[in-house]
Chains A and B, each alone.
Chain A
Amino acid sequence: MSVLAADGEPLIRWNWIGDHSDELTTLTLHHLKLALLPILFGLIVAIPLGIMCVRWRWLYPPTLGVANVFYGIPSLALFMLFIPYFGIGSGGQADFTIILPLTLFSLSVLVPNVVDGLRSVPEPVRQAATAMGFGTLRRLVQVELPIAVPVIIAGARVAAVASISLVSVGVLIGNGGLGQLFIDGYSRDFTTPIIVSCVLIIVLALFSDGVLVTAQRLLTPWARTRRSNG
């Protein structure tokens, strides 16, 4: 099957979508799993790490330095590093070859945002909480983290969109969710699967973004008019 114009092959063959709906559903769900588990793991690590960086200031510059280095590593290269540990392929343990590198990527966005969010808590608020007898932990959970939520979620939004896009690179080592269709299309000179998977990835990204925006609105009803500064 050769390139369009030459033999009148259209950019998109609509019937292909219907014929492959089962495959598309499976790939989409797997894509979501590969992309969003890293954000969940990232938050689980970034929140305590961010808290520590705020508590012990000296910890932040080296942490930020490491995070920036991760940000500059080509995602494919990072996937490669994990192959020896979790193997190659799709599903099961091999998924961690994709999930863990993406978790590291998400940290490079999430940690600075957790730190910025916690630092955005106005000093008078912190002092008032202490003066009213909040202990360190209670103040953190009930006062500081809620105030930091908009900035943390702003980071999670950036990380989620990037993660959903980056999963597709995993196809080069045999596990890329919807990215699978890039290679299918590319190797057959057939644009439909490439376009369909690109569109699905964009839709997934926008959908996750919408979910996070809604989550933020629900979590911070007091901040609805304030713009987040992430």
Chain B
Amino acid sequence: MNLTDQINAAWNWLTASAHWSGSDGIPHRLLEHLGYSALALVIAAVIALPLGALVGHTGRGGFLVVSFANLARAVPTLGLLLLVVTVTSIGLTPVIIPLIALAMPPILVNTYEGIRGVDADIKDAAEGMGMKGPGVLLKAEIPVAMPLILLGLRTAAIQVVATATIAAYAGIGGLGRYIVDGLSRKDYPSVVGGSVLVVLLAVIVQVAFIGLRRALVSPGLRGSSRTS
């Protein structure tokens, strides 16, 4: 089977109307996939954003945060999933835990580096004008670090969307079903078709983050990064 055959087979699979309805239909699987991804990303962000911001702001514990993130990056997601499944049981939790572990390092490191990298003059001016710690963080440091923070969230989101395919191994849904089931049935069009859907989802995530950047990053920062 060469590349053209693969593309044709995937196209036929994707356009077959039977694949667009029911609980094993593409819309349903897509929503499941988005659901797991969003849940993992939100939990990771709720932990990593404040932690990264706090460490970047105080300058304390930076070494620990970076070391932890490097260690977490090295953890094999599939191994963690199968371990959690073996120890607990099949279900949502074993899927979410490895995905959170996957999403945290980029969010944590980028938030930390972004806040830490804010020009000392800006922080000095903010304090000198009478902003208190939280004020400096919210009104000066976070807005200035926003491009990097969003980059971390984007990296995490794309990795999570691509990796959420492993949910199928924990016996639950998502687009991974097409890949994993296709693999065991030697149904390659299903595997390729499922993969194409995941890639499309990753592209949509990229586009969504372009929109977020427009909305959340001040034009004053976009301009400076363009000219420098």
Which residues on A are within 8 Å of B, measured CB to CB?
3-4, 11, 68-69, 71-78, 80-81, 84, 158, 161-162, 164-166, 168-169, 171-173, 179, 182-183, 185-186, 189-191, 194-195, 197-198, 201-202, 205-206, 209
Q: Are B78 and A205 in contact (CB under 8 A)?
A: no
Q: A3-B86, A77-B179, A179-B76 are in contact. Are A72 and B162 (CB under 8 A)?
A: yes
A169 to chain B, nearest CB (A): 5
Q: What CA separation (Å) do A169 and B6 show in the bound complex?
A: 22
Q: A73-B198, A74-B198, A80-B183 are in contact. Are A68 and B86 (CB under 8 A)?
A: no
Please classify how large the interface on chain B is, using the bins under 10, 10 to 19, 20 to 34, 35 or more.
35 or more
A51 to chain B, nearest CB (A): 22
Which residues of the partner chain B approach A191 to less than 8 Å between Cβ atoms? Answer: 83, 86-87
Q: Are A73 and B83 in contact (CB under 8 A)?
A: no
Interface-side segment among B44-52, B133-141, B186-194: B186-194
Q: What CA separation (Å) do A81 and B182 show in the bound complex?
A: 13
Q: Are A74 and B165 in contact (CB under 8 A)?
A: yes
Q: What CA separation (Å) do A99 and B74 show in the bound complex?
A: 18
Interface-side segment among B20-28, B53-61, B199-207, B215-223: B199-207
Partner of A182, one of B73, B79, B87, B191: B79
Q: Are B195 and A198 in contact (CB under 8 A)?
A: no
Partner of A84, one of B6, B71, B199, B201: B6
Which residues of the partner chain A approach B85 to less than 8 Å between Cβ atoms? Answer: 186
6 A-B pairs whose Cβ atoms sit less than 8 Å apart in the complex: A68-B206, A72-B199, A169-B76, A173-B183, A197-B79, A198-B79
Q: What CA separation (Å) do A102 and B112 show in the bound complex?
A: 29
Which residues of the partner chain B approach A3 to less than 8 Å between Cβ atoms? Answer: 86-87
Question: Which of A76, A166, A186, A195 is most buried by chain B, counting CB atoms within 10 A of its CB?
Answer: A76
Q: Are B179 and A71 in contact (CB under 8 A)?
A: no
Q: What CA separation (Å) do A3 and B183 show in the bound complex?
A: 27
Which residues of the partner chain A approach B199 to less than 8 Å between Cβ atoms? Answer: 69, 72-73, 77
Which residues of the partner chain B approach A185 to less than 8 Å between Cβ atoms? Answer: 82-83, 86
Prevailing SS type, chain B contact patch: helix
Q: What CA separation (Å) do A36 and B117 show in the bound complex?
A: 32
Which residues of the partner chain B approach A162 to less than 8 Å between Cβ atoms? Answer: 73
B68 to chain A, nearest CB (A): 12
Which residues on B are within 8 Å of A, measured CB to CB?
1-2, 6, 70-71, 73-80, 82-83, 85-87, 158, 161-163, 165, 176, 179-180, 183, 188, 191-192, 194-195, 198-199, 201-203, 205-206
Q: Are B86 and A189 in contact (CB under 8 A)?
A: yes
Q: Are A205 and B158 in contact (CB under 8 A)?
A: no
A98 to chain B, nearest CB (A): 14
Q: What CA separation (Å) do A197 and B83 show in the bound complex?
A: 11
Prevailing SS type, chain A contact patch: helix
Give B77's nearest chain A residue, CB to CB. Answer: A165
Q: A69-B203, A72-B161, A206-B70 are in contact. Are A77 and B198 (CB under 8 A)?
A: yes
A sample of 12 more A-B contacts (CB under 8 A), given A80-B183, A206-B74, is A69-B203, A71-B162, A72-B158, A72-B202, A72-B203, A73-B202, A74-B163, A80-B179, A158-B73, A161-B74, A168-B76, A202-B75
A34 to chain B, nearest CB (A): 13
Q: Are B6 and A182 in contact (CB under 8 A)?
A: no
Which residues of the partner chain A approach B6 to less than 8 Å between Cβ atoms? Answer: 81, 84
Q: Are A165 and B75 in contact (CB under 8 A)?
A: yes
Give A84's nearest chain B residue, CB to CB. Answer: B1
Which residues of the partner chain A approach B77 to less than 8 Å between Cβ atoms? Answer: 165
Q: Are A165 and B86 in contact (CB under 8 A)?
A: no
Q: Are B195 and A161 in contact (CB under 8 A)?
A: no
Q: A72-B206, A172-B183, A191-B83 are in contact. Are A206 and B71 (CB under 8 A)?
A: yes
Partner of A165, one of B76, B180, B183, B203: B76
